[in-house]
Amino acid sequence: MKKWFAVIGDPIAHSKSPFMHNAWFQEMGIDAAYIPIHVKSEHLKEAVSALKLLGASGWNVTVPHKEAIIPFLDEIDPMAVKMGAVNTVVRTKDGKLKGYNTDGAGFVHSLEEAVGKNREKKVLLIGAGGASRGIAFALKEYGYQQVDIANRTVSKAQAIIEELGEGTSLSLDEAEKRLDQYGIVIQATSLGLSTGEKKLPFSLDRLQKETIVADIVYNPLMTPFLTEAEKRGAIIVTGLGMFVHQGAIAFHHWLGQYPDTENMMQKLMEQLK
Ligand code: ATR
């Protein structure tokens, strides 16, 4: 039987996941299809039953269901448990639904594909929401030893630092002043996700040249944060790679092989220009 996959979310029309996965299926000669499904929060439980009943081999989960879907799954990968969120569901051979989170690892794969492994560098993560949490745990798992977290609400940064067991939590002001100590700076707040216009209230005055600066937002590709960092001589990493790599890791969970991420980056960049 032909395999099929989906992405569920609300809204869902803007998602680039169907384009990406269908292009990979085609490139790799895999007889499968991937469709977007608009699921409202009040219908999540029924939607999960329906996907199971109708034989989906797996699906991605996006806003606002990443946390809410957990009770409806049979098993959760330890990393997704730590993150408290699932973005990928796999139907196992015995028909069980297993949840994974590939966002954080997707970020690290993207960073390392773009600029290589710099695991000894000191990292400043800005933001302490769901996205930032995933990235923090993934950085730790991949061996980044020094990760500090700055956030408008410092207590939320502190909570993640405590779970990580090392690092420092900072206010945005404190982080601005110490910016020259960091080799990698990651913008992981939700600002700019909805409108590319909004600017993070964060000064890059003390940014050193050659610092690696990454953003998790990919639409627009060049966020105000990255534009400013580039002007100051930073090496920049756009958020598009995180999106492509979270998808590639999900693809690997479903089909046991990795798709071509570099080629996909080019294809998506054409669309986002
Ligand atoms: P996500 O799951 O996408 O990370 P989230 O959980 O809503 O989204 O987290 C949003 C992040 O963006 C938080 O770090 C938030 O800071 P607070 O924890 O202080 O709320 C940050 N953020 C959102 N709007 C912001 C703003 N105007 N200035 C600074 N930080 C902002």
Spell out the domains of the chain, with CATH numbers in brackets. 3-101+241-272 (3.40.50.10860), 104-238 (3.40.50.720)
Task: Decide whether any atom of ligand 1 lies within 6 Å of the 190 Cβ.
Answer: yes
Mean of pLDDT values over 189-216? 82
Interface predicted TM-score (ipTM) of this complex, two decimals: 0.95
- Answer yes or no: is 49 a known binding residue: no
Q: Is the pTM of this model over 0.90?
A: yes
Q: Which residue has the higher pLDDT, 145 or 25?
A: 25
Mean of pLDDT values over 20-28? 98
- What is the best residue among 152, 161, 172 to mutate for testing ligand 1's pocket, by most ligand atoms within 8 Å of CB? 152
- Answer yes or no: is 130 a known binding residue: yes
According to DSSP, the β-strands at 58-61 and 32-38 are unpaired
Question: What is the distance in A from the centroid of ligand 1 to the CA of 190?
Answer: 5
In the block, residue with structure tokens 């390392």: 112
Could you tell me how far CA 40 lies from the centroid of its own chain? 22
The ligand 1 atom nearest the CA atom of 133 = 4
Question: What is the distance in A from the centroid of ligand 1 to the CA of 151?
Answer: 8
Q: Which of 3, 45, 66, 231 is catalytic?
A: 66
Task: Decide whether any atom of ligand 1 lies within 6 Å of the 132 Cβ.
Answer: yes
Is there a catalytic annotation at residue 66?
yes
Please say if the pLDDT value at position 7 is more than 80. yes
Instruction: Report the C-alpha gap between 115 and 241 in whole angstroms.
Output: 12
pLDDT digits (tens, 9 = 90+) for 81-124: 999 999 999 999 999 999 999 999 999 999 999 999 999 999 99
- Answer yes or no: is 103 a known binding residue: yes
- What is the best residue among 87, 107, 153, 190 to mutate for testing ligand 1's pocket, by most ligand atoms within 8 Å of CB? 190
